[in-house]
Amino acid sequence: MSSTSIRQVREQLEEISYLMERNLDFLSENSSAATTSKQRIRENKGAKTTMSITYDMQDRDQLEEISYPLDENIRNIFRRRQVPAREKTLDNEIKSAVTSASIEQSRDQMEEICYPADEDLKLILKPRKTSTTTTTKNCNDESNNTTTTAATTELSPTPSWTPTPFPTDGLPPTPPMSPEPSPLRPKYEYHIQFDTKLQHWTRNFIVFLIHPFTNRNMGQAQARYLDRAALLSIYKSKKQNPNQRPFCFSKSVELLNDGNSDGLALAQQLFDRDGLLMKRHSMGVWGQELNKGAILILGYLLVKREWRRQGMAGMAIRALIERAKTTKGDVRWMFVKPGTIKEDLELEGKTEGEKEEIEKKAYESAVRFYRSFGFRRVGYSEWFCLAMDEEHASRKTAVEDDLELPEKKDKI
């Protein structure tokens, strides 16, 4: 078989496949017509392809080798244009239905979740606005007046659905927030120590601050009560003995010997033998009024580190004063000599100069505390006094007007 005949046969087969491809749509819609056409093609295939040409067995084999790939191409074209197209249409329909159903279901679930937090959602979904301020100057105006214009821009769109309001009927109103939490109020535990022979003019008051929930000790304070009038009355009642020594206030306090030297130091540094204020300390806001009435001498005031700066020290002082008043009555003055506890200071590894500076700052901090509570310096001594009478001049004296120790003068 010549090459020209083969080329003609190939062209005829390509023409047949082209015609079949064009008629595929019609064949797919009408299966009976497609079947009939296919049979006719098969019946006339030999006539159309031979066209008065005599084939032998070799030529027929060559034709089959050429026509087989073309037949496979026709089948693939038919499958691609019929089955996949229908499957793609079904997939799109299913996806569309699933998507719309998922959107509706998600919206319902979102409404159920957001229902309790309706008020918060309103704030979140509320369109935010920002104001852009531009300032322009009028150059022709001598006073350079400025005009301000504000442009409002909406940042978020209004939601397309409105959440269901949360029912508030029957609920109690929300209490207003306090500006700051109230301080912890400790419980007070009092101890009163006295000697039966001296109980008429002196006692020792101790108060413990107890945590209201854990019952642990938060701090404590101690004060010595001295009644000079009662002491002098007792001395005069015993004056009938001719060998008795003259009255001396400091000597009487020294007999206490309770391990606390503050009472003796006060008697020696501020008062004379008769228990009256020395004239050199009668200055400023203090005068002869200190000669009358019982006194309290604050021996120590301790508050644990974790409870400091919370008003516990002031509570301890007030508790001591109230307890002394209810027990003995005539308490007019409270004295204190500010000091520091070295064990409470971080002095380890410090030089002598650094230690002195740390102790100085701690002492100044103690003085500031007592002054803030109402104590004022007595003359030029290291002692401070608190008047129980709020109308006393010391209670009306500002902290900055209180007396200070002279820098070059020795401490008394």
Residue range 115-136: mean pLDDT, rounded: 50
- Which one has a higher pLDDT value, 151 or 394? 394
- Contact yes or no for 366/257 (Cβ under 8 A): no
* Per-residue model confidence as pLDDT tens digits over 27-65: 566 555 556 656 666 665 555 454 444 445 565 666 566
Quickly state the pLDDT bin for 345 (edges 50, 70, 90).
confident
Q: For the ranges 2-16, 104-118, 227-241, 286-300, which has the lowest average pLDDT?
A: 104-118
> How far, in Å, CA of 191 to CA of 7, rounded?
129
Do 371 and 385 meet the contact criterion of CB atoms below 8 Å apart? no
Dihedral through CA 85, CA 87, CA 90, CA 95, nearest 10?
-110
Could you tell me which residues come within 8 angstroms of residue 247 by beta carbon, excluding any fewer than 6 positions away?
232, 235, 273, 274
The per-residue pLDDT for 110 is 60
CA distance 353 to 360: 11
pTM of the predicted model as reported, rounded to 2 decimal places: 0.55
**For residue 340, how many C-alpha atoms fall within 13 Å in the half-sphere facing its CB?**
20
Count, residues in the chain:
412
Q: Domain coordinates of the chain in residue numbers? A: 3-99, 188-401
> Which is more confident, 260 or 332?
332
Dist. CA 273–CA 250, nearest whole Å: 7
Which of 212-216, 322-326, 408-412 is predicted with the least confidence, judged by mean pLDDT?
Answer: 408-412
Q: What is the DSSP string of 32-96?
A: HHHHHHHHHHHHHHHHHHHSS----HHHHHHHHHHHHHHHHHHHHHHHHHHHHHHHHHHHHHHHH
Taking only the tens place, the pLDDT of each residue in 370-402 is 999 999 999 999 999 999 999 999 999 999 999
Q: Among 385, 373, 329, which Cα is nearest to 203's?
A: 329
**Homologous superfamily (CATH) for 188-401:** Gcn5-related N-acetyltransferase (GNAT) (3.40.630.30)
Confidence band (pLDDT; 50, 70, 90) for 139? very low
Distance of alpha carbon 71 from the chain centroid = 80
Among all chains, which residue has been given the structure tokens 């008003």?
Answer: 311
Of 171 and 207, the one with more pLDDT: 207
pLDDT per residue over 274-320, tens digit each?
A: 889 999 998 889 999 999 999 999 999 999 999 998 999 999 999 99
User: Residue 6, Cβ neighbours under 10 Å: how many?
Assistant: 14
